[in-house]
Amino acid sequence: MPGPLVVNDSVVIPDAELVWRFSRSSGPGGQGVNTTDSRVELTFDVAASTALPPALKDRARGRLGGDTITIAASEYRSQLRNRQAARDRLAQRLREAIAPPPKRRRPTKPSRGAVERRITAKKQRSDVKRLRRDP
């Protein structure tokens, strides 16, 4: 499991840039819960990273609202599984943060033919209803 974190095809974060912290998980548990450090906190400093080009750094910092990302994982009883969950969540958050912005929608208007067909259909429907009325 140790090794670089692959975010996408072009971004790979070296293991040295990831800061791990371990603590005891909260909540109910058995005999091992009071002695094992299974809760994981994974911290990544976007501003100090060498893995991201400046344009992606700026985009990520703008979308994340800060320079660092901290992911906490404590849903599993095993520290190893929590580490993997934290790595997966960090990769997903970074993928979303550095994704290119969506294309802007070009405003369009209906064609003249479409407008005419709509008006013609409305007139036909109006005529049908008018003919159903009592004279």
60-116, pLDDT tens digit by residue? Answer: 888 888 889 999 998 888 888 999 999 999 999 999 999 998 999 999 999 999 999
Domains of the chain: 5-98 (3.30.160.20)
pTM above 0.85, yes or no: no
Cβ-proximal residues to 44 (8 Å cutoff; 6+ apart), any chain:
13, 17, 18, 19, 68, 69, 90, 94
